[in-house]
Structure 1
Amino acid sequence: MTQQWLRRVSLIVGNASGQGLDLSELHIRFTIWSATTQSPKHATIRVYNVADATAKRLQQEFQQVFLQAGYGDNFGLIFGGAIKQIRKGRENATDTFVDIIAADGDEAYNWSVVNTTLAAGWSQTDYHNALVQSMAQYGVTAGYAPTFSSAKLPRGKVCYGMTKDYMRQFAGAAGTQWAIRDGQLHMVPVTGYLPNQSIVLTSNTGMVGVPTQTVDGILVKCLLNPNIIPGSRIHIDNASIQQAALSVDYTSTNYFPSLDDDGFYKVYAMSQTGDTRGPAFYTDMICAGVNGTAPLTSTYTNAVINGSS
């Protein structure tokens, strides 16, 4: 990856009939959160000094929002989802704003129900297909999934209830984590990662500050990069990581995620923040070594990875 410069941002809201409104030239500030956990990806996008007529159109006409960002040619979609609320307000005496609060896949997560029976001889692939099908009415399709066990189960299985509850059980049995991203249901092995190319992060390719080893994981910050997604790999020189200090008073609770021998780290959770008129334009990540052995043990990180929401 080459050096990054020349920020680019595109913000478009749209409706079911295909009509859209381009807000890209206005002052925009955004925060996007996503993870390998089941919790839906969500975004808060603030647009400044929108005309009253435009603000009314946003509240009345549009249901979808699409945000692209990056540097130069390294530019891509970082959020696409359903608008949940349009909120008007005033930040100070001169600046008004419209907040666009949106989520990706939350309707499927909150409302989809599975009602089917798997005949005797079903496999994990059959189970996966049934669960994906139950989300189809909310626009969710199958995304990445690993190769499931080919074992055939001798008894039938009745599935009736919230899809997310069955997904928790299935993901645990299959040794994966699951999440809905960009309208697709993705399942990533707990001990694996997405099969995309790892992104090398150095001070020359966008790394900001020093990666830090903490009980929450390896914390990494870089200039906003649309190619980094939960479940993907990044590559860091281990010599650049600030190692955590042990406390001799609490040696039994000093559980830090280990560093990867080859410097490869899996992204578990991340946030992307940007301001088209300010300094913020970053990707912040919580990572763990691809071949690491120490678990991520903090309450926050376990909530992120295990999907306790």
Structure 2
Amino acid sequence: MTAQFIRRVSLIVGNASGQGLDLSQLHIKFSIWGATTQSPKHTTIRVYNVADSTAKLLQQEFQQVFLQAGYGDNFGLIFGGAIKQIRKGRENATDTFIDIIAADGDEAYNWSVVNTTLAAGWSQTDYHNALVQSMSSYGISAGYTPEFAATKLPRGKVCYGMTKDYMRQLAGAAGTQWSIQDGQLHMVPISGYRPDESVVLTSDTGMIGVPTQTVDGILVKCLLNPNIKPGSRIQINNASIQQAALSVDYTATNYFPSLDNDGFYKVYAMTQTGDTRGPDFYTDMICAAVNGTAPLTSTYTNAVVSGG
């Protein structure tokens, strides 16, 4: 990984006709949340001291937002989605702002309906293709998909209802978690990960502080890195992980994610935060060992379930 200095941020808003407006040179703050399980990825981007004419134009004409960030050559898309609200406000006597509140794939998640019949002899691949097709009108395409079971079912299957309900059925049968990231439907095996290259995190490559083992998962913080995605792998030195302390009073309920022998950890949930004129430019992750015990309670589960 190249040395991480000289921040780069690009913020573009676009309309249905393909026209765009570049806000990259303004003061920008952002926070992005994403996870491996179904809840749409979402963001709030605050842009300071926007001209009144520009703010009015944003509220009336633009529907999409694309945010890229990173350091030097390690620069890429960290959010692309539909604008849900543009809110004007004032932070103090001198600084005004607009908040761009956006979500990725929420229309497909909330409104997509599947209406089809799978003929006898259908497979999980056929099922998956039908569900992706039902989301295509909302701009969703297939992303990472594992190898499904080759089993052919002897009876036909009628699918009529919310696509997300059928996606839960397919994900459960296939042993995966599903989510929409940057306009693509990904299905990541519960005991697997996306096939992206692992990001090695050390103090030299951007890791901040000490990774900590908690009941929620392995908590890891690093300088903002666009290569880290929900469902991808990171590699850290197990010797750097601060292990959790057991409570002798509640031994039966002590449960902590296991450590991976080789230091590989899957990212289950994450936030990307940044400020072009402040200190924040970080990636915070909740992880668990690849092929190990996963974070099943508290922060991770509550965040995912409540988001859906």
Same-fold call, TM cutoff 0.5: yes
Structure-1 residue corresponding to 2:130: 130
The answer for the alignment partner of 1:212 in structure 2 is 212
Q: Is the partner of 1:135 in helix, strand or coil? A: helix
Question: Which residue pairs with 2:12 in the alignment?
Answer: 12
User: What is the Cα deviation at residue 273 of structure 1?
Assistant: 0.1
Shift of 1:242: 0.2
Aligned length: 308
Q: For the Cα contact (< 8 Å) 2:2–2:73, is it kept in 1? A: no
- The amino acid of 1:241's aligned partner reads I
Pair 150,304 (structure 1): closer, same or farther in 2 beyond 3 Å: farther
Match of 1:184 in 2: 184
Give the equivalent residue in structure 2 for 1:43: 43
Amino acid at match of 2:264: F
Alpha-carbon spacing, 1:194–1:11, altered in 2? closer, same or farther (3 Å): same
CA apart distance, 1:308: 7.2
User: Is the Cα–Cα contact under 8 Å of residues 213 and 256 in structure 1 kept in the other structure?
Assistant: yes
Q: Which residue in the other structure is 1:281 paired with?
A: 281
Equivalence for 1:97? 97
In the superposition, relative to structure 1, how do residues 231 and 10 fare at CA in structure 2: closer, same or farther (>3 Å)?
same
Asked if structure 2 preserves the Cα contact closer than 8 Å seen for 1:268 and 1:305, the reply is no
Letter matched to residue 263 of structure 2: G
Could you tell me how far apart the structure 1 residues matched to 2:153 and 2:211 are? Answer: 45
Identity between Structure 1 and Structure 2 (%): 82
Q: Which amino acid aligns with 2:193?
A: Y
Structure 1 gaps of 5+ residues are: none
Structure 2 residue matching 1:218: 3-state secondary structure: strand
The reply to whether residue 33 of structure 1 matches residue 33 of structure 2 is yes
Measured after TM superposition, the shift of residue 36 of structure 1 is 0.4
Instruction: Flag the 1:90–1:308 CA change in 2: closer, same or farther, 3 A.
Output: closer
Instruction: Give the counterpart letter for 1:158 in structure 2.
Output: V
CA distance in 2, matches of 1:98, 1:26: 11
Q: Residues 308 and 40 of structure 1: is their aligned pair in 2 closer, same or farther, counting only changes over 3 Å?
A: closer
Q: Deviations over 1:60-93 (max 9, x none)?
A: 1101000000000000010011000000000011
2:298 alignment counterpart: 299
8 Å contact from structure 1 (residues 261, 291) kept in 2: no
Q: What is the one-letter code of the residue matched to 2:301?
A: N
Query: Which residue matches 2:271?
Result: 271
Distance 1:196 1:295, change over 3 A: closer
| CA deviations over 1:105-162 (Å, ceiling 9, x no partner) | 0000000000111111000000000000010110111111000001000011110100
Output aligned runs, 1:216-227, within 5 Å: 216-227=216-227
- Answer whether contact 1:171 1:177 (CA < 8 A) is retained: yes
Deviation at 1:166, TM superposition (A): 0.5
* Corresponding residue number in structure 2 for 1:157: 157
Partner of 2:253: 253
- Matched residue type, 2:220: V
User: Equivalent residue for 2:239?
Assistant: 239
Which residue of structure 2 aligns with residue 21 of structure 1?
A: 21
Q: Is the 8 A contact 2:81 2:182 kept in 1?
A: yes
Please report the RMSD computed on the Cα atoms of aligned residues, expressed in angstroms. Answer: 1.1
Partner of 1:228: 228
Question: CA 1:120/1:142 → structure 2, altered by over 3 Å: closer, same or farther?
Answer: same
The gaps in structure 2 that reach 5 residues or longer are none
Residue 88 (structure 2) aligns with: 88
1:177/1:305 contact within 8 Å kept: no
Cα deviation for residue 303 of structure 1 reads 3.7
Q: CA deviation at 1:307?
A: 7.9
Give the Cα separation in 1 of the matches to 2:67 and 2:82.
Answer: 12
- After superposition, the C-alpha distances for 1:196-234 in whole angstroms (9 at most, x for unaligned) are 110100000000000000000000000000000001000
What is the CA–CA distance in structure 2 between the aligned matches of 1:174 and 1:4, rounded to whole Å? 39
Q: 2:136, 2:124 → 1: CA distance?
A: 19
- Counterpart of 1:179, as a letter, is S
Give, in whole Å, the separation in 1 of the partners of 2:91 and 2:302: 33
What is the Cα deviation at residue 291 of structure 1?
2.9
How far apart are residue 244 of structure 1 and its match?
Answer: 0.3
The two structures have a TM-score, normalised by structure 1, of: 0.98
Match of residue 113 from structure 2: 113
Partner letter of residue 49 of structure 1? N
Tell me how far apart the structure 2 counterparts of residues 306 and 44 of structure 1 sit (CA, whole Å): 20
- Contact kept, 8 Å, 1:38 with 1:307, in 2: the verdict is no
What SS does the aligned partner of 1:87 have? strand
Query: How far apart, CA to CA, are the structure 2 residues paired with 1:14 and 1:281?
Result: 24
Contact 1:28 1:45 (8 Å CA) reproduced:
yes
